[in-house]
Amino acid sequence: MSDSNLVKQRLPITLAIAIFMQMLDSTILNTALPAIAKDLNQSALNMHYAIVAYVLTLAVLMPVSGFLADKFGTKRIFIMALVIFSIGSLLCALSQTLTHLIIARIIQGAGGSLMTPVGKLAIIKTFDSKELLKAMNFAIVPALIGPVMGPLVGGYMSVYLSWHWIFLINIPIGVLGIVLAYNYMPNYRSEAPKFDIRGFLYFSLASLLLSLSIELLGDVENLTLVLTIFVIGVSLLLAYFIYARKSQNPIFPTNLFMVRTFRVGILGNFATRLGISSVPLLLPLMIQTAYGQSAIVSGWMIAPMALMAIFAKSRVIKILNRFGYRNTLVVNTIIIGLLICTLAIPGIHTSIYWFVPIIVTIGFFNSIQFTSMNSIAIADLRKYHTSSGNSLLAVNQQLAIGFGISSGLLIFKYFEYNTALIDNNTHNAFRYTFILIGVISILSSFVFRRLHSSDGSNLQ
């Protein structure tokens, strides 16, 4: 096998490992927070700062990932990101106080903000348009598996080991990723223009404040503060676009949005994830609180979603080749929305195993959705736009996931507090929430109607 073929074979595996480690870490922590709080003599509420610190670090540093990759090379930055993330994980496990844990999570976030965008950039530059879909299809599966496996692994580790292992597990995975990247990742560089510090400050501060407003969204008592932070964040984002239109070398060129497939891909990613993102959180929560099952049982209940995502991986390309991106995304988004609505059908006295076929089917169509959305967004980008476009897509996905989770929880809280509407039954609050976020998902399908039937043909 030639060196070129070996690189093309191992590079998607390298990115998949990094994505899996990051997604697993992002979800596994939620299960272990009570155990960590007890060990560090903190309230469970205060432990939320450890999550917020990581998310805000991603928001600040992710926009610079494309510039750093162009300046120093994809291989160097990717390996550096894995090293930083692994060191941050070790420091998390060694934390003796909440302050130590927060600092360690910031270090983790610094590594995590570069890993996925730079890894994807290396794949975009390695594979031609005909091969890109297959490579991205393989690498994106861990993004579906991580959120599902996180609660399951976290539940077992919290019960049978200790919370330290939820961080230590990252180290051998990180070492494997470093070895693969050292041997098989090309060190692509581009002529990076002078760093746009003003644009970076505008955009990063906007991302920071929008992410902070997302994290505070569930705090109804501080709704005025949340709205203020959100408005300032949106204002800074508008200020960035006004500035970028006049700047010669902005960190994210505004002519990126002149590429229709990128524009639709960005908006579609955001709109669809508003509905989809909250399901992996709400479903285990319902199984535990409404049905009285353990964290381990709820983890096993949603595990089939990940298994079906792996199976669907081999079908995505055939589906896109037959129906095209436009038809696939419009219909697939509607199907996902309807499936989310069906989660409201089983009653409180129904066996929880009735959820399994629904969960399995959601996993199948989620896999199609994420692969299609991510690939169409970069389908028509020119080479000089790949770094900035890829970074912007990563920031957009991070914000969309955060908004989706917070919106789902906010909708649930609204129904939970409206005791007359739910007949004083928490399970009904979950049912109404699934119906509403399912409808939101269905409505998001209209975004993809703006695609042309021939869009994405260069990837097929």
Q: What percent of the chain has pLDDT over 70?
A: 88
Q: Residue 87 above 80 pLDDT?
A: yes
Query: What pLDDT score was predicted for residue 348?
Result: 81
Task: Give the three-class secondary structure for 380.
Answer: coil
Between these two residues, 159 and 240, which has the higher pLDDT value?
Answer: 240
Q: Residue 278 above 60 pLDDT?
A: yes
- Quick count: other Cβ atoms within 10 Å of Cβ 449? 11
Closest among 25, 23, 47 to 34, alpha carbons compared? 47
Q: For the domain that residue 72 is a member of, what is the CATH number? A: 1.20.1250.20
- Quick count: other Cβ atoms within 10 Å of Cβ 128? 8
Give how many domains the chain has, as a whole number.
3
Model confidence over 179-197: pLDDT tens digits?
999 888 888 887 766 777 8
Query: What pLDDT score was predicted for residue 144?
Result: 64
Between these two residues, 229 and 28, which has the higher pLDDT value?
Answer: 229
Residues 153 and 214 in one domain: no
Question: Residue written as tokens 């983790």?
Answer: 108
Residues 318 and 228 in one domain: no
Answering whether pTM is above 0.85, one says no
Rounded to whole angstroms, the Cα distance separating 353 from 302 reads: 11
Residues 310 and 389 in one domain: yes
Residues 157 and 274 in one domain: no
**Which of 235, 250, 265 is where one domain is finished?**
250
Rounded to whole angstroms, the Cα distance separating 420 from 424 reads: 6
Closest among 85, 96, 77, 112 to 36, alpha carbons compared? 96
| 286: CB partners within 8 A, 6+ apart | 427, 430
Q: How far is CA 292 from CA 156, 311, 410, in A?
A: 18, 31, 22
Say if CB 256 and CB 392 are below 8 A apart: yes
For residue 235, what are its two tokens? Answer: 């204002």
Residues 152 and 239 in one domain: no
**Which of 193, 211, 228 is where one domain is finished?**
193
Q: How far is CA 85 from CA 10, 20, 107, 151, 328, in A?
A: 21, 13, 7, 20, 36
Residues 245 and 179 in one domain: no
Element (H, E) at 239: helix 223-246
Place 45 in a pLDDT band, splitting at 50, 70 and 90: low
Residues 231 and 206 in one domain: yes
Closest among 270, 276, 256 to 390, alpha carbons compared? 256
Rounded to whole angstroms, the maximal C-alpha distance in the chain is 68
Query: What pLDDT score was predicted for residue 155?
Result: 67
Residues 281 and 225 in one domain: no
Residues 68 and 90 in one domain: yes
Q: Residue 373 above 60 pLDDT?
A: yes
Q: How far is CA 106 from CA 181, 197, 311, 323, 426, in A?
A: 23, 21, 35, 43, 36
Say if CB 221 and CB 111 are below 8 A apart: no
| 192: CB partners within 8 A, 6+ apart | 67, 70, 71
Residues 324 and 183 in one domain: no
Residues 316 and 378 in one domain: yes
Rounded to whole angstroms, the Cα distance separating 325 from 133 reads: 12
Query: What pLDDT score was predicted for residue 82?
Result: 94
Alpha helices (H) along 291-385:
295-342, 355-377
Rounded to whole angstroms, the Cα distance separating 267 from 245 reads: 20
Residues 156 and 209 in one domain: no
Rounded to whole angstroms, the Cα distance separating 261 from 455 reads: 7
User: Residue 117 belongs to what domain range?
Assistant: 1-193
